[in-house]
């Protein structure tokens, strides 16, 4: 990793992309300290200390929610809009056609996702402003105050969406994932202080902290192991004579990753499960809302079952969206490739699909286990580390994917240099 970063820093264009990405991180952190007008942040911090669902959302937003800043909602409306759009792409014929039209169709889907982000962001911002008014957090409960809070929060989410797309276009890595990454990483110093306070207050001893750190290192090692793990299916290409030249005849393989979907299933599952609890917080006096908060409590059995099932579902769903065994089999057949012992075409496609389903199950179960393990620890010890596993999954996964993009960029430069 260090060698890759060093090599990338020496390349002028890659160094510019890295610097641009870091500058966008600074913009993100600067915006996370611009408060929304007319909100009593001190009163809201006291509410967060009471252990509401907003305390967990604050981890994802990098502390922006705790300070009620313009980035308080984070990028969650964009993620929810992306989930809805990807699900609709499967069932709506028009969107399915757009998805198959290549770059132009993708641009239209991205534009629809942007509109959906603004709509969902406005609805969530309006709900938060109503909640602030009912909880006495707004300094004035006038229409203008509600409008200012709603517009400020919606504009902050729209700006973060634009910032993420800008990082993807001109920086390194996936911009939306990197914004979530930056938000979680920015909370690490505060997490260290929290652990220290636990020790000082006697709620945890040194041995507990050391065991927690060892467990974190083991989780990181496991995430890297699964993320890099792959099943290699051997492929043989038949020899072809074209004129006086002989093509093919070599052996290669299809690398099927154990975790083809990366950290996307965890992010999707988390955003969906946070949505009902967030809505319920707007109506604190409602009995139904209290039931929702009880069911969607991070340490409750129903919540953990739903979390695990959603992670497994989105792992299979996102793998199916990004990897099509039929296309792989058709391309192999087109260029004279075949898997030893199998006929080209449909038998090859079915075999690849069967292998992919099995290894995807292993990856999905691992993601669910890592994401839920801190919930059990919090239920047993009482330590507030419920986002430890999810945070580690996202941070390590995004870091690995970003490093792979850097390596591919460096490899492209080497090929260009060879051709010149």
pLDDT for 47-74, tens place per residue? Answer: 766 555 565 667 667 777 778 888 888 8
What CATH number was assigned to the domain covering residues 1-186?
Answer: 1.10.3370.10
Q: Are 393 and 166 in contact (CB under 8 A)?
A: no
Residue 384 pLDDT exceeds 70: no
Same fold, 1-186 and 229-386: yes
Cα-based distances in Å from 14 to 171, 181, 405, 419: 8, 20, 11, 19
Task: Give the pLDDT confidence score for residue 152 in this predicted structure.
Answer: 92
Superfamily of domain 229-386: SecY subunit domain (1.10.3370.10)
Q: Are 28 and 163 in contact (CB under 8 A)?
A: yes
Provide the token pair at 166: 């800008």
Q: Are 51 and 279 in contact (CB under 8 A)?
A: no
For residue 217, what are the contacts with CB-CB under 8 A and spacing of at least 6? none
Mean pLDDT calculated for residue range 124-132:
84
Mean pLDDT calculated for residue range 84-110:
82
Provide the token pair at 237: 């290409």
Q: How far apart are CA 401 and CA 279, in angstroms?
A: 33
Q: Percent of the chain beyond pLDDT 90?
A: 9
Mean pLDDT calculated for residue range 282-297:
70
Give the distance, in angstroms, between the CA of residue 393 and the centroid of all CA atoms in the same chain: 9
Provide the token pair at 339: 């898997």
Task: Give the pLDDT confidence score for residue 217 in this predicted structure.
Answer: 83
For residue 255, what are the contacts with CB-CB under 8 A and spacing of at least 6? 230, 231, 232
Mean pLDDT calculated for residue range 21-44:
87
Task: Give the pLDDT confidence score for residue 417 in this predicted structure.
Answer: 47
pTM of this prediction?
0.77
Task: Give the pLDDT confidence score for residue 158 in this predicted structure.
Answer: 93
Residue boundaries of the structural domains of the chain: 1-186, 229-386
Least confident of 97-101, 111-115, 194-198, 243-247: 243-247
Residue 257 pLDDT exceeds 80: yes
Task: Give the pLDDT confidence score for residue 67 in this predicted structure.
Answer: 82
- Provide the residue count of the chain: 420
For residue 144, what are the contacts with CB-CB under 8 A and spacing of at least 6? none
């Amino acid at each position: 990793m260090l060698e890759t970063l060093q090599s990338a820093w020496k390349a002028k264009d890659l160094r510019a992309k890295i610097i641009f990405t870091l500058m966008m991180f600074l913009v993100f952190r600067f915006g996370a300290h611009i408060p929304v007008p007319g909100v009593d942040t001190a009163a809201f911090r006291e509410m967060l200390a009471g252990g509401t669902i907003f305390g967990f959302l604050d981890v994802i937003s990098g502390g922006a929610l705790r300070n009620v800043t313009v980035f308080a909602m984070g990028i969650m409306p964009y993620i929810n809009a992306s989930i809805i759009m990807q699900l609709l792409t499967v069932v709506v014929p028009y969107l399915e056609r757009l998805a198959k039209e290549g770059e132009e169709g993708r641009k239209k889907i991205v534009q629809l996702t942007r509109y959906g982000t603004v709509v969902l962001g406005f609805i969530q911002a309006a709900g938060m402003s109503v909640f602030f008014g009912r909880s006495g957090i707004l300094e004035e409960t006038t229409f203008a105050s509600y409008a200012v809070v709603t517009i400020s929060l919606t504009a902050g989410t729209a700006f973060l969406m634009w910032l993420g797309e800008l990082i993807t276009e001109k920086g390194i890595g996936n911009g939306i994932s990197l914004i979530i990454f930056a938000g979680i990483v920015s909370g690490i110093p505060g997490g260290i202080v929290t652990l220290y306070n636990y020790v000082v207050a006697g709620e945890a001893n040194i041995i507990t902290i050391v065991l927690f750190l060892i467990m974190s290192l083991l989780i990181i090692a496991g995430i890297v192991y699964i993320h890099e793990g792959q099943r290699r299916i051997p492929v043989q290409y038949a020899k072809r004579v074209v004129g006086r030249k002989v093509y093919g005849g070599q052996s290669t393989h299809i690398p099927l990753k154990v975790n083809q979907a990366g950290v996307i299933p965890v992010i999707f599952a988390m955003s969906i499960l946070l949505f009902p609890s967030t809505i319920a917080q707007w109506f604190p006096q409602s009995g139904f809302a209290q039931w929702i908060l009880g069911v969607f409590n991070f340490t409750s059995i129903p919540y953990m079952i739903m979390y695990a099932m959603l992670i497994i579902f989105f792992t299979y769903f996102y793998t199916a969206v990004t990897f099509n065994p039929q296309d792989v089999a058709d391309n192999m057949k087109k260029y004279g490739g075949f898997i030893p012992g199998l006929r080209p075409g449909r038998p090859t496609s079915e075999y690849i699909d069967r292998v992919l389903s099995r290894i995807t199950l292993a990856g999905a179960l691992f993601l669910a286990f890592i994401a839920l393990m801190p919930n059990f620890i919090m239920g047993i010890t009482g330590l507030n580390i419920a986002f430890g596993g999810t945070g580690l999954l996202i941070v390590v996964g995004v870091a690995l994917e970003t490093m792979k993009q850097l390596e591919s960029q460096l490899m492209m430069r080497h090929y260009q240099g060879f051709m010149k």
